[in-house]
Structure 1
Amino acid sequence: SRKKKRETKAKEYDIRLRELSDSLKRDNIRITGVPEDEREKGAESLCEQIIVENFPNLGKDTDIKIQEAQRTPIRFNKNQPSTRHIIVKFTKYSGKKRIMKAAREEGSLTYKGRQIRFAADLCTETWQARKERQDIFNVLNQKNMQPRILYPARVSFKIGGEIKSFPRQKLKKFMTTKPALHETLRVTL
Structure 2
Amino acid sequence: MNQGKRETKKNAKTGKQEEMKASQKQLMLTDSMRSMRSMSSEPTGGESEMLAELRKLRQENSETFKDTKLSLNRLESSMTEIKQQIVQLDERITTAENSVSVTDDRSIRQERAVGYLLRREASLAATCDDMENRHRRNNIRMYGIREGAEKDAMMSFITTLLHTKLKVPGDTEIKLERAHRALAPKPKESSAPPRSIIVRFLDFSVKQIILQQAWKQRDIEFEGQRVYFDQDYSPDLQGKRKRVREVIKQLKEKNIKAQSPYPAQLKLFLAKGVRVFPTLVEAQSTLKELGVDAIIERELTQDKWSTQENRRRNQMQLNPTDVRAIIRGDNGMND
Equivalent residue for 1:65? 175
3-state DSSP of counterpart to 1:170: coil
1:23-45 Cα offsets, whole Å, 9 max, x none, are: 11000011111122324251111
- Which digits, 9 at most, give the CA deviation of each residue in 1:43-101, with x for residues without a partner? 1111112112221434x433432222112234365x33452221111111111111111
Aligned equivalents of 1:22, 1:125: Cα separation in 2: 10
Specify whether residues 7 and 65 from structure 1 end up closer, same or farther in structure 2 by C-alpha distance, changes over 3 A only: same
Distance 2:280 2:258 in 1: 14
Out of 283, 289, 292, which is 1:183 matched to? Answer: 289
* CA gap 1:97/1:36 in 2 versus in 1, 3 angstroms: same
**Residue 148 (structure 1) shift:** 0.4
Structure 2 gap segments, 5+ residues each:
1-111, 296-335
Please name the residue that 1:115 is paired with. 226
Relative to structure 1, the CA distance from residue 154 to residue 3 in structure 2 (aligned partners, 3 Å threshold; closer, same or farther) is: same
Which secondary structure does the structure 2 equivalent of 1:99 belong to?
helix
**Aligned match of 1:130:** 241
Q: CA deviation at 1:18?
A: 1.1
CA distance in 2, matches of 1:74, 1:5: 35
State the distance in 1 between where 2:274 and 2:123 align.
26
1:152 deviates by 1.2
Q: Map 1:158-173; keep pairs closer than 5 Å.
A: 158-166=269-277, 167-172=279-284
Which range moved further: 128-137 or 25-34? Answer: 128-137
CA deviations on 1:119-161 (whole Å, 9 max, x unpaired) are 1111111111111122211222223332001111111112343
Higher helix content, 1 or 2: 2
Closer, same or farther: CA 160–39 of 1 in aligned 2, 3 Å: closer
Distance 2:152 2:212 in 1: 26
Count of paired positions = 181
Correspondent of 1:10 among 109, 118, 121: 121
The structure with the largest strand share of the pair is 1
Change (3 A) 1:5 1:160: farther
CA distance in 1, matches of 2:282, 2:264: 12
Q: Which amino acid aligns with 1:149?
A: S
After superposition, residues 31-180 of structure 1 pair within 5 angstroms as 31-58=142-169, 60-75=170-185, 79-81=188-190, 82=192, 83-166=194-277, 167-172=279-284, 175=285
State the AA in 2 paired with 1:80: E
1:111 partner amino acid = F
State whether residues 143 and 197 of structure 2, in contact with CA within 8 Å, keep that contact through their aligned partners in structure 1: yes
Q: Distance in 2 between matches of 1:145 and 1:9?
A: 37
Higher relative contact order (CA 8 A, sep 6+): 1
Structure 1 residues 112 and 52: CA distance shift in structure 2, 3 A: farther
- Secondary structure at 1:188's aligned position in 2? coil
Q: Is the 8 A contact 1:148 1:155 kept in 2?
A: yes
Indicate which of 129, 133, 141 corresponds to 1:22.
133
Q: Distance in 1 between matches of 2:195 and 2:244?
A: 26
